[in-house]
Chain A
């Protein structure tokens, strides 16, 4: 009789249990918090090491979006005559490319979490979700640097007489950044979980991202599709990423189509994708090392 309570008490003493069974949603936030220093160090490592032993260093963060914007302006606006309204072509492209770039970096970065880090994951335990989180945060820093160049050109164009201004939606700026991060991270985690055993998705990802960029109306405004390609407009309308990119341009430069419905749709999508990604990621992390 006296033995029963003591064994019960002892069971409650266990700090944690390693076993094959695990509830669907089992997030140890306390543990993630305890590893916050690791998160910060990973972020630091990602930013510092990318351009080590380069002459231009962090300037490379700026060169990529700048050159892509120049190319886009030449091809889409000058050759193909895509009109961007009152907004200077270059600024229009730079906004789209910066926003798309952040999503893309989060997606491709976190999609390789398991396969690229198999070496570390196979040797030591820490909450695996730290890895994609750190990728998202270090990309946020890069995105911040890229935004500063966007702001710089913005000021330049305004001072040289271009009629471009943000609207009240700019208050939603943090929400838009969050949506890009969550959808990129969520999709990335789903892909990373599926590529541990079957690598097919890795093959798909590289060109899928390329195609998705056009489907997300990065180099042209949504209105252009609506006018010139009305029978395929639904593909853009229901693409939450197109809504995010368009919304980003709308709040910063007051061009394009915006509705609260599509905003809610995009927000809902990114939250759901993130949660689904987190659950799948969490289920995979326990034993992926056997199949990776």
Chain B
């Protein structure tokens, strides 16, 4: 055995009840109790739907997690990724002992400290310093441990001036920084972190990511990390687990897991373009398909800014048509056009032959859109006007990225990202 297993999870499942707690639940409780008294299994464990929120509930119970298994080695940084509602937070709650699994067990050799939220238990009337002690103790530190790190914590938070002022007078940013500073100085054997990096301003985020790297890198600490920030998962984690509808669908290196996650949701809303009625034109020439491919030919629906992507557009044509222009408008969720690509501008037209199935490819080397939801309006023109035009032909999400290769997540969601260079003026 190369490395030591520090935590092992076996068959973790968690069942939740849907709907309200009221008089109706009392009947189920009594029935469950009656089964237990007679030494039988919980009758409601046999039922329960898969956690797919889009479907209408058929049962009163739902499995938020189903048979999750994994081992964590000492010193490993495990990233847990998945869409909203995939069961990440439930898993973290079980790991941090906030709730227990319905079935299965987790065994651990180290103390677990969890950061599901920063600033848990902050009391607005207490001063910053008092809250450092209170919050630290809630997170599992002893008084002497906190005392030893007090100066370091205050320094890290950048709130030295306000440390003897009640926290209720703090700005929300200061509160978060103080809270993260306490959390960052925790020294458990296993640290469970949930999305806490998504707080604070850019400068503080950089500091926080740096600190996380310290903890996992030089500190050799075991970390379980849940995040939507794919760039952070890629750079921090050594291994990844992808959750989907409460089950674990992929396990591998951090890179592989992120790739899997980005491509996994592609099928969901993929409508065949050729079957769509809501189009202008489409008589002679018809779009049949559009997909976004990564450099290694993977179909994607979740993109990262700064990466190279290929937009593959399929069409059929009943005639030979000369001088055809394709236009892709990239539109954000507020219906603003962020940018467009049109070969008409570049005076570089296609001549199309009568075809049942053909493709053109649009290559974008440094994908410029920041985090957000987008759709593409797909149009095609020739000398006599519109050949085909479909609004919202394709929907995709930019989930993160590292456009400037700095390791920093882009905060701005405005406009587009472009290459530029600042330099000193030398006369």
A contact set with B: CB distance below 8 Å: 13-20, 34-35, 37-38, 40-42, 45, 48-49, 52-53, 119-126, 197-198, 286-287, 289-291
Contact = CB atoms under 8 A, between A and B. Distances in A.
Interface in B333-387: none
B106 A15 contact: no
B323 interface: no
Contacts of B26: 198
Contacts of B97: 18, 125
A287 B14 CA distance: 11
Nearest to B118: A123
A14 B108 contact: yes
B102 A121 contact: no
Contacts of B110: 15
B99 A17 contact: no
A124 B108 CA distance: 17
B6 to A, nearest CB: 10
A121 B100 CA distance: 13
Interface string B96-114: 1111111111111111101
B44 interface: no
8 contacts: A19-B101, A20-B102, A37-B137, A37-B143, A45-B123, A49-B126, A53-B125, A125-B96
B120 A120 contact: yes
B100 A15 contact: no
Which 8 pairs between the two chains have the least Cβ-Cβ distance? A19-B105, A125-B97, A38-B137, A37-B143, A18-B106, A14-B107, A49-B125, A123-B120
Contacts of B142: 34, 37
A6 B2 CA distance: 15
A289 B96 CA distance: 13
B46 to A, nearest CB: 16
A35 B137 contact: yes
Contact of A52 (B100, B108, B125): B125
A259 B54 CA distance: 68
B116 A123 contact: yes
A120 B120 CA distance: 6
Given A17-B107, A198-B21, A291-B21, 16 more contacts: A15-B110, A18-B95, A18-B106, A41-B137, A45-B126, A45-B134, A49-B123, A119-B120, A122-B93, A123-B114, A124-B139, A125-B97, A126-B140, A197-B29, A287-B99, A289-B99
Contact of B100 (A16, A20, A37, A40): A20
B65 to A, nearest CB: 12
Interface residues of B, number: 44
Interface string B120-161: 110101100010011001111011000000000000000000
B117 interface: yes
B16 interface: yes
Nearest to A117: B121
Nearest to B29: A197
A123 B121 CA distance: 9
Contacts of A48: 125-126
Contacts of B59: none
Contacts of A122: 93, 98, 116
Contacts of A120: 120-121, 138
A286 B112 CA distance: 16
A289 B123 contact: no
A199 to B, nearest CB: 9
Contacts of A198: 21, 26
Contacts of B98: 121-125, 289
A15 B21 contact: no
A45 B138 CA distance: 13
Contacts of A45: 123, 126, 130, 134
A125 B114 contact: yes
Contact of B106 (A19, A49, A125): A19
A193 B109 CA distance: 30
Contacts of B123: 45, 49
Contacts of B417: none
Contacts of A126: 138, 140
Interface string B213-232: 00000000000000000000
B100 A287 contact: yes
Given A17-B107, A287-B100, A197 B21 contact: yes
Nearest to B8: A14
Nearest to B140: A126
A125 B98 CA distance: 6
A18 B16 CA distance: 18
Given A45-B123, A49-B123, A197-B25, A124 B114 contact: yes
B94 A18 contact: yes
Contacts of A286: 99-100
A17 B107 CA distance: 4
**Which residue of A19, A42, A52, A197 has the most chain B CB atoms within 10 A of its CB atom?**
A19
Interface in B42-99: 93-99
Contacts of A291: 21
Contacts of B166: 52
A123 B26 CA distance: 27
A290 B15 CA distance: 10
A291 B16 CA distance: 9
Nearest to A21: B105
A197 B110 CA distance: 32
Contacts of A41: 133-134, 137, 143
A291 B93 CA distance: 14
A199 B109 CA distance: 38
Contacts of B99: 286-287, 289-290
**Which residue of A13, A38, A119, A124 has the most chain B CB atoms within 10 A of its CB atom?**
A124
A177 B231 CA distance: 59
A33 B417 CA distance: 54
Nearest to A125: B97
A18 B138 contact: no
Contacts of A37: 137, 142-143
A9 B25 CA distance: 44
A264 B327 CA distance: 90
B133 A124 contact: no
Contacts of B29: 197
